[in-house]
């Protein structure tokens, strides 16, 4: 058994709803295989790429059509949240707390950047200035100093936080409970022992969930030689979804950071997502759906870019004409193709 010692890396994995919203698992059960499911799926995808304005346009195009209850709820939430350039009034548990002030500040930033993505950099600069004012920092304080002070201030109230950059937007997650322990991870190329931090009781769960009305988001990440798991986003931490979409995906990040420290973010995601497909069985179709609905040609959206690359390559390797056809590919063929692509990428990196 190999013990993992990875460098620090933010690598978001599973897509899921807000744990405080409805308790659905990592890959939301929102239906996308209905008559208008492609529009719903596309709206979710562009939201994850940081463009809620486009998501609203897509959802307005299906006004008056028959939708499932879940789709109606998602559409209604998105139109209410992002249908105007003024954010709707939302709060956390204690409106007088420091955490609530920070959450409100980030939500206002997310809303502005998501509804007007062309001015994203301007809104990020404004966020930093607001945080300097809240934290009473000098004008010269950079993002690193701002986030260090923010994390320290939240810790005084017994809170943990994830900050930094996820994809195209600045990130914020705040949670109240954290437990750690060793976990054994079985993968096609070996068994590994790693440390997992199990996170619970979230106050805010990141911009991905905000951008998709709590139907998608981050299920975990890698940092400080530890896998961080957002526990409420999984039905069962003993089940395949957690084992594949979180443990397999994030452990691959650790291995790659150790072996190839200069890899780009989208390259890390590409290899971890191939490993998901190489390991998935009962969750295979949901893993594919997650990849299909979030595709982009922009490497800055590293999850979306990796999804498009691996899906196109899988289509080339299997007897299907389009990515949707991958769902009907035999289990063994899909897993073999994913593993073959993974091995080919490894051989290329090692100069074989």
Residue linked to tokens 């000098």: 138
Going by their DSSP bridges, the two strands 160-162 and 220-223 should be labelled as unpaired
User: How many CB atoms sit inside 10 A of residue 343's CB?
Assistant: 15
- Tell me: pLDDT of 28 over 60: no
Q: Mapping DSSP to helix (H, G, I), strand (E, B) and coil, where does residue 347 land?
A: helix
Rounded mean pLDDT of 102-120? 97
Structure tokens at 190: 């070996």
d(CA 268, CA 11) in angstroms, rounded, equals: 8
- Tell me: pLDDT of 244 over 50: yes
pLDDT at position 10: 37
The model's confidence at residue 123, banded by pLDDT at 50, 70 and 90, is: very high
Helix spans in the chain (H): 37-48, 52-60, 69-82, 98-115, 120-135, 143-156, 207-211, 240-241, 249-259, 265-279, 284-292, 302-317, 331-349
The model's confidence at residue 21, banded by pLDDT at 50, 70 and 90, is: very low
- Tell me: pLDDT of 36 over 90: no
- Tell me: pLDDT of 237 over 80: yes
Contact between 200 and 176 under an 8 Å Cβ cutoff? The reply is yes
d(CA 9, CA 31) in angstroms, rounded, equals: 32
pLDDT at position 205: 93
d(CA 275, CA 279) in angstroms, rounded, equals: 6
Contact between 175 and 160 under an 8 Å Cβ cutoff? The reply is yes
pLDDT at position 294: 85
In sequence order, the β-bridge partners of residue 200 are: 177
pLDDT at position 18: 32
Of 16 and 254, the one with more pLDDT = 254
Mean pLDDT of the chain: 87
The model's confidence at residue 8, banded by pLDDT at 50, 70 and 90, is: very low
Name, of 47-56, 86-95, 284-293, the range with top average pLDDT: 47-56
- Tell me: pLDDT of 307 over 50: yes
Which of these ranges, 101-105, 115-119, 176-180, 285-289, has the smallest mean pLDDT? 285-289
d(CA 17, CA 14) in angstroms, rounded, equals: 10
| DSSP string for 68-137 | -HHHHHHHHHHHHHHSSSS------S-TTSHHHHHHHHHHHHHHHHHHSGGGHHHHHHHHHHHHHHHHT-
Name, of 31-35, 189-193, 237-241, 326-330, the range with top average pLDDT: 189-193
d(CA 149, CA 143) in angstroms, rounded, equals: 10
Helix 331-349 / helix 302-317 crossing angle, nearest 10 deg: 110
> What are the pLDDT digits (tens) for 62-84?
998 888 999 999 999 999 999 98
pLDDT at position 35: 63
Residue linked to tokens 């800055």: 300
Alpha-carbon 77 to chain mean position: 20
The model's confidence at residue 94, banded by pLDDT at 50, 70 and 90, is: low
The model's confidence at residue 12, banded by pLDDT at 50, 70 and 90, is: very low
The model's confidence at residue 289, banded by pLDDT at 50, 70 and 90, is: confident
């Amino acid at each position: 058994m190999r013990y993992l010692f990875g460098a620090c890396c933010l690598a978001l994995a599973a897509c899921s709803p807000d744990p405080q919203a409805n308790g659905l698992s990592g890959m939301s059960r929102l239906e996308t295989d209905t008559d208008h499911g492609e529009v719903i799926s596309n709206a979710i995808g562009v939201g994850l790429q940081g463009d809620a304005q486009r998501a609203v346009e897509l959802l307005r195009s299906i006004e008056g059509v028959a939708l499932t209850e879940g789709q109606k709820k998602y559409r209604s939430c998105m139109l209410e949240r992002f249908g105007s350039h003024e954010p709707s009034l939302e709060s956390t548990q204690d409106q007088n707390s420091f955490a609530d002030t920070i959450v409100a500040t980030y939500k206002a930033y997310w809303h502005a950047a998501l509804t007007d993505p062309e001015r994203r950099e301007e809104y990020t600069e404004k966020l930093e200035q607001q945080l300097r004012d809240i934290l009473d920092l000098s004008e010269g304080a950079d993002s690193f100093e701002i986030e260090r002070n923010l994390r320290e201030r939240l810790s005084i109230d017994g809170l943990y936080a994830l900050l930094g950059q996820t994809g195209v937007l600045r990130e914020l997650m705040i949670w109240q409970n954290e437990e750690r322990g060793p976990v054994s991870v079985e993968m096609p190329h070996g068994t590994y022992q790693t440390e997992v931090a199990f996170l619970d009781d979230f106050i805010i769960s990141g911009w991905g969930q905000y951008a998709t009305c709590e139907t998608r988001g981050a299920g975990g990440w890698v940092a400080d030689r530890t896998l961080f798991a957002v526990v409420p986003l999984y039905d069962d931490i003993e089940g395949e979804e957690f084992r594949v979409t979180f443990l397999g995906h994030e452990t691959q990040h650790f291995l790659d950071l150790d072996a190839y420290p200069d890899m780009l973010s989208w390259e890390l995601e590409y290899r971890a997502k191939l490993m998901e497909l190489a390991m998935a069985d009962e969750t295979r179709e949901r893993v594919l759906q997650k990849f299909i609905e979030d595709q982009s040609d922009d490497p800055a959206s590293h999850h979306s870019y990796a999804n498009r690359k691996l899906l196109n390559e899988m289509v080339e390797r299997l007897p299907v004409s389009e990515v949707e056809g991958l769902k009907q590919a035999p289990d063994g063929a899909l897993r073999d193709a994913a593993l073959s692509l993974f091995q080919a990428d490894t051989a290329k990196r090692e100069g074989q």
